[in-house]
């Protein structure tokens, strides 16, 4: 298992300061014995212009077994151990994360007794891990690292065997991260995210794991759009611990925001309560279902209509397959929060050409929305009065007319399964309605028929045999080209409200 950290510098700010930051002298190779083997730290290069520190962990499978830590829940040797023994001893994993925290403890804590000013400074960093087990592949690597301030996140799949490309890729990626960060921040991200990507934690989960997670997540995890997935995987999918972690992260997130912002966030959280239901995994399921459907549709230019705080926009940005991403919402406050989340202001040029946030209302046709591959309406329709739905229907399916439209909405039948929801209550105060599966299918079927789309339904979340899934998703597709205009015009559109949206009428 191998990881390198490099930095560049100048005579005034030498790269060899990395040695101070890591508390390891660049001039010598050192070995440390850890609970799982031996960790070697050495510097393949150490000059003022460029300095690289390498951490090499030699795993001792015998030590692993002796400590009883190579066992899965049932006491059988787990897949992770099998892999160290048989397969890929050089793969980075949770063991590397443990070694990292042992060998670079002070650096992780942002402490440097000799040069206390150093840890406070961001510097150009390059992290490389040649073989990183990544369950979820390059796409998940991007979702995890893209929001963390790196200029470059590269995750290349490692082929199973270079001689036989037809065998496909292994579950390993070569990871490269480059950007201006504080070293402690970079190390803390790796400490949490390596085991999350590995997804095969090798030791028992104790309650103080939540404390460790929050400490290592200080400054980046609370606002991370994937903090649900990160917490759940880091805590080996332990439900109660995950929920505990997420509740505490939410408090951190609110505390991190200053005065006026707290109020904004509070309201926004409230506004999106349905999408942020605790425990969070439903929001994660929903995003995964949406991403899978967009991928299956081969969409590159995507609208997120009613984008809220921009979580989905952010996830899409992480995947280079999406060349143009437009988030639209009626709420300026939500858009401001989205801009903050995406760091629009500080975004590099290449990224910023891919994303746009628009203020607008789905109750009006809007020319800016024409000609896209796909549109997503995630938990949006239920926020409109039923009388406004025909207008939304025309704006999306009649006027904007993307090839694929994804609509998600709560399945009201599932509400009996929410422990905290009093009988007969909607999931959120601002829901104007919540539909049964039959009601949603009837609406979607009519919409599809009126506008020349086919529609399919996908359950999202645990599909209960009796009451169905918590979230229902309709996938609409049409074969005709967006510019094609043989779809119903406003005049022949049977608008039940009598409101005929005017072409180009935008909020």
Q: What is the binding site for ligand SAH (CB under 6 A)?
A: 272, 275, 306-308, 311, 329-331, 334, 361-363, 378-380, 383-384
Helix %, strand %, coil % of the chain (to 5): 40, 20, 35
Distance (Å, whole) CA 221 – CA 236? 17
Rounded to a whole number of angstroms, the minimum distance from the CB of residue 315 to ligand SAH is 11
In the block, tokens 């190390």 appear at 187
Q: Give me the least distance between CB of 267 and ligand SAH, in Å please.
A: 11
Give min distance, CB of 379 to ligand SAH, in A: 4
Query: Which residue intervals of 311-374 are DSSP H helices?
Result: 311-317, 332-342, 349-352
Minimum CB–partner distance for residue 141 and ligand SAH (Å): 23
CB closer to ligand SAH out of 34 and 331: 331
Closer residue to ligand SAH in complex, CB, 26/501: 501
Residue 112 vs 380, nearer CB to ligand SAH: 380
**Judged by CB, which is closer to ligand SAH: 103, or 384?**
384
Query: Helices H, strands E: what count in the chain?
Result: 17, 14
User: In the complex, what is the shortest distance from the CB of residue 435 to ligand SAH, in angstroms, rounded to a whole number?
Assistant: 15
106 HSE (CA, 13 A, CB side):
15
CB-CB contact of 400 with 366 (8 Å):
yes
Task: Using the minimum distance from each CB to ligand SAH, give the nearer residue, 185 or 329.
Answer: 329
Nearer to ligand SAH, 52 or 311 (CB): 311
Q: Shortest distance, CB of residue 256 to ligand SAH, whole angstroms?
A: 20
**Residue labelled with tokens 């787990």:** 78
Q: How far apart are CA 465 and CA 468, in angstroms?
A: 6
**Residues comprising the chain, all counted:** 507
**Shortest distance (Å) from residue 287 CB to ligand SAH:** 8
d(CA 359, CA 375): 16
H/E element, 451: helix 437-451
In whole angstroms, how close is the CB of 269 to ligand SAH at the nearest point?
A: 11
C-alpha atoms less than 13 angstroms from C-alpha of 166 in its C-beta half-sphere? 0
User: CA quadruple 291, 232, 343, 10: dihedral positive or negative?
Assistant: negative
Calculate the alpha carbon distances from 82 to 78, 204, 236 in Å: 6, 17, 19
Smallest gap from residue 308 Cβ to ligand SAH (A): 3
138/422 Cα distance (integer angstroms): 42
Specify the residue, 314 or 478, whose C-beta has the smaller distance to ligand SAH: 314
Give 200 or 375: the residue with its C-beta nearer to ligand SAH.
Answer: 375
Strand runs labelled E in 88-226: 123-133, 152-159, 169-181
Give the DSSP per-residue string, 211-258.
HHHHHHTTTTTTT-TTHHHHHHHHTTT-HHHHHHHHHHHHHHHHHHS-
Instruction: Indicate the residue among 275 and 411 with the shorter CB distance to ligand SAH.
Output: 275
Angstrom distances, CA of residue 188 to CA of 3, 42, 105, 215, 472? 14, 20, 10, 9, 37
Q: Give me the least distance between CB of 495 and ligand SAH, in Å please.
A: 16
Closer CB to ligand SAH, 36 or 383, in the complex: 383
Q: Residue 128 or 379: which CB sits closer to ligand SAH?
A: 379
β-bridge mates for residue 376, sequence order: 304, 406
Which residue's C-beta sits nearest to ligand SAH? 308
In the complex, the smallest distance separating the C-beta of residue 233 from ligand SAH, rounded to whole angstroms, is 21
Beta bridge partners of 153: 177
């Amino acid at each position: 298992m191998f990881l390198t950290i490099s930095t560049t510098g100048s005579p005034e700010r030498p790269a060899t300061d990395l040695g101070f930051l890591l508390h390891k002298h660049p001039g010598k190779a050192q070995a440390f014995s850890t609970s799982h083997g031996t960790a070697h730290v050495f510097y393949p290069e150490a000059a003022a212009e460029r300095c690289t520190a390498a951490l090499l962990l030699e795993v001792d499978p015998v030590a692993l077994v002796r400590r009883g830590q190579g066992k899965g829940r049932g006491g059988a040797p787990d897949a992770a151990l099998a892999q160290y023994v048989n397969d890929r001893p050089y793969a980075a994993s949770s063991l590397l994360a443990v070694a990292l925290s042992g060998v670079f403890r002070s650096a992780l804590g942002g402490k440097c007794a000799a040069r206390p000013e150093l840890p406070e400074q961001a510097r150009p960093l390059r992290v490389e891990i040649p073989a990183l087990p990544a369950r979820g592949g390059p796409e998940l690597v991007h979702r995890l690292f893209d929001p963390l301030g790196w200029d470059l996140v590269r995750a290349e799949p490692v082929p199973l065997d270079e001689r036989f490309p037809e065998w496909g890729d292994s579950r390993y990626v070569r990871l490269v991260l480059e950007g201006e960060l504080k070293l402690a921040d970079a190390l803390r991200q790796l400490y949490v995210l390596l085991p999350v990507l590995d997804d095969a934690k090798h030791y028992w989960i104790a309650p103080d794991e939540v404390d460790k997670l929050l400490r290592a997540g200080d400054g980046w995890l609370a606002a991370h759009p994937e903090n649900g997935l990160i917490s759940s995987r880091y805590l080996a999918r332990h439900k109660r611990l995950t929920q505990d972690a997420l509740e505490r992260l939410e408090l951190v997130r609110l505390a991190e925001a200053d005065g006026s912002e707290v109020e904004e966030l509070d309201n926004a959280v409230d506004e999106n309560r349905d999408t942020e239901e605790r425990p969070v995994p439903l929001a994660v399921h929903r995003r995964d279902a949406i991403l899978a459907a967009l991928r299956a549709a081969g969409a590159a230019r995507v609208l997120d209509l009613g984008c809220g705080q921009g979580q989905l926009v952010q996830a899409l940005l992480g995947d280079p397959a999406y060349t143009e991403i437009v988030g639209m919402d009626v709420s300026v406050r939500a858009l401001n929060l989205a801009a903050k989340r995406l760091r629009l202001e500080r975004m590099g040029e290449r990224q910023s050409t891919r994303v746009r946030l628009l203020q607008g209302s789905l109750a009006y046709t809007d020319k800016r929305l024409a000609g896209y591959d796909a549109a997503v309406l995630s938990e949006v329709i239920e926020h409109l009065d039923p009388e406004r739905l025909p207008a939304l229907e025309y704006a999306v399916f009649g006027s904007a007319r993307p090839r694929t439209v994804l609509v998600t909405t709560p399945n009201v039948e599932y509400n009996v399964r929410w422990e905290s929801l009093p009988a007969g209550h909607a999931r959120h105060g601002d829901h104007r309605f919540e539909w049964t599966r039959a009601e949603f299918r009837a609406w979607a079927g009519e919409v599809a028929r009126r506008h020349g789309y086919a529609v399919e339904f996908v359950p999202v979340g645990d599909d209960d045999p009796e009451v169905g899934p918590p979230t229902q998703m309709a996938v609409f597709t049409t074969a005709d080209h967006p510019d094609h205009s043989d779809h119903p015009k406003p005049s022949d559109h049977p608008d039940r409200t009598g409101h005929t949206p005017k072409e180009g009428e935008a909020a």
